[in-house]
Amino acid sequence: MFMTARSSTRVIDPDNADPDVWADSAYRGEDTEAVLEEAEYARHIHEKGQKDRPLTEAQKQRNRERSRGRCRVEHVFGFQQTSLGGKLIRSIGLARAQVEIGLMNLTDNLMRYLQLSRQGTRVPAAAS
């Protein structure tokens, strides 16, 4: 689970089976930690340095490791926002909205494939 709203209680889904929570340092706080502890989630929240206490090399390394997965997810939303006219879906009916979201994801996957193939990166063959 990725935390995307400021209030951790609005983001936590009690039916979520994934025990991991990924978030940036803005979500680090006593109230958030208490909510996540109570819900028994594994926390992967970035650590935040302060002016008088900068991050150690170990903390920076942990933040880099946490960012790897998060950036892959956030790039999809960034692509949708900048290249596909935003993430707002305007349609009547759930089925049409699901098709529109699916097409946006397909477009992102195709553009990523083109980007990787132009760079000369070995791209795996499509599943048959």
Q: Are residues 102 and 78 in the same domain?
A: no
Q: Are residues 4 and 61 in the same domain?
A: yes
Of 56, 73, 88, at which residue does a domain stop? 88
User: What residue spans of the chain are helical by DSSP H?
Assistant: 8-11, 30-38, 57-83, 94-118
Q: Are residues 71 and 12 in the same domain?
A: yes
* pLDDT, mean of residues 95-119: 89
Structure tokens at 50: 């302060």
Residues with Cβ within 8 Å of 89's Cβ and at least 6 positions away in sequence, in order, are 97, 100, 101
Q: Are residues 17 and 48 in the same domain?
A: yes
Our count of domains for the chain comes to 2
Q: Are residues 72 and 49 in the same domain?
A: yes
Q: Are residues 20 and 61 in the same domain?
A: yes
* pLDDT, mean of residues 100-108: 89
Q: Are residues 23 and 81 in the same domain?
A: yes
Q: What long-range pairs does 29-37 form, CB within 8 A, spacing at least 24?
A: 32/8, 35/8, 35/9, 36/8, 36/12
Q: Are residues 69 and 84 in the same domain?
A: yes
Helix-helix angle 94-118:57-83, to 10 degrees: 120
Quick check: 60 pLDDT over 80?
A: yes
Q: Are residues 46 and 106 in the same domain?
A: no
Mean residue pLDDT across the chain: 80
What pTM was estimated for this model as a whole? 0.53
Q: Are residues 65 and 48 in the same domain?
A: yes
Q: What's residue 68's pLDDT?
A: 83
Q: Are residues 45 and 17 in the same domain?
A: yes
Q: What confidence category does residue 10 fall into, taking pLDDT thresholds of 50, 70 and 90?
A: low
Domain that holds residue 117: 89-128
